[in-house]
């Protein structure tokens, strides 16, 4: 039986997002594989978390690339970004809460690069008059990450319909970030 490593990682992220203290046995069970098989792919919990972070960085970077953040208005680019992030929201939710525990040089550089790209979107929106200037781009970036995480948890727990994921995030964020005529 061939094990889809990426699917195991997504399953682990979904489990660990709901239960951060899940054991490797629980991760293996959730993924439908034996503990020995899980250990052949990930030597231990630290290796699993590092692999999750690498996958998260790659997935998020692909979503940022696909969103074409420099094209059209900043609001439209933000909508594309949220749509692109949705398939990996559970993984990103886990990483947003856990990344402080497993910092590595490559991971820090990766997150800093992505944070800079998303912050640049918000800065562009401020410069074009679409977004408020009294909220820093870094705060808006962190607020976006928080909303993606919260929406992911709500969908997982059945407190929000999956079809509302993008709408709820974008409308709440833009409702607070949008610049209003004085």
Q: For the whole prediction, is pTM greater than 0.95? A: no
Query: What's the pLDDT tens digit per position in 47-91?
Result: 998 898 888 889 899 999 999 999 999 999 999 999 999 988 888
State the Cα–Cα distance between residues 147 and 46, nearest whole angstrom: 26
State the Cα–Cα distance between residues 22 and 18, nearest whole angstrom: 9
CA distances from residue 182 to 45, 87, 132, 170, 174 in whole angstroms, order as listed: 53, 38, 11, 23, 17
Domain 5-177 in CATH 1.10.357.10? The answer is yes
CA 51 to chain CA mean position, Å: 15
> What does the pLDDT read at residue 83?
96
């Amino acid at each position: 039986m061939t094990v889809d490593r990426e699917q195991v990682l997504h399953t682990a992220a979904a489990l660990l997002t709901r239960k951060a203290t899940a054991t490797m046995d629980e991760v293996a069970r959730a993924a439908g594989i034996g503990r020995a098989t899980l250990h052949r792919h990930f030597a231990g919990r630290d290796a699993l978390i590092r692999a999750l972070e690498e996958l998260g960085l790659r997935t998020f970077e692909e979503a940022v690339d696909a969103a074409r953040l420099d094209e059209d208005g900043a609001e439209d680019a933000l909508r594309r970004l949220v749509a692109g992030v949705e398939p990996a929201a559970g993984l990103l939710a886990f990483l947003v809460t856990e990344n402080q525990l497993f910092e590595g040089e490559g991971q820090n550089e990766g997150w800093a690069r992505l944070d800079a790209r998303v912050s640049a979107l918000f800065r562009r929106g401020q410069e074009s008059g679409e977004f408020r200037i009294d909220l820093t781009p870094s705060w808006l970036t962190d607020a976006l990450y928080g909303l993606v995480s919260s929406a992911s948890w709500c969908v997982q727990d059945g407190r929000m319909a999956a079809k509302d994921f993008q709408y709820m995030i974008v409308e709440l964020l833009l409702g607070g970030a949008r610049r209003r005529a004085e």
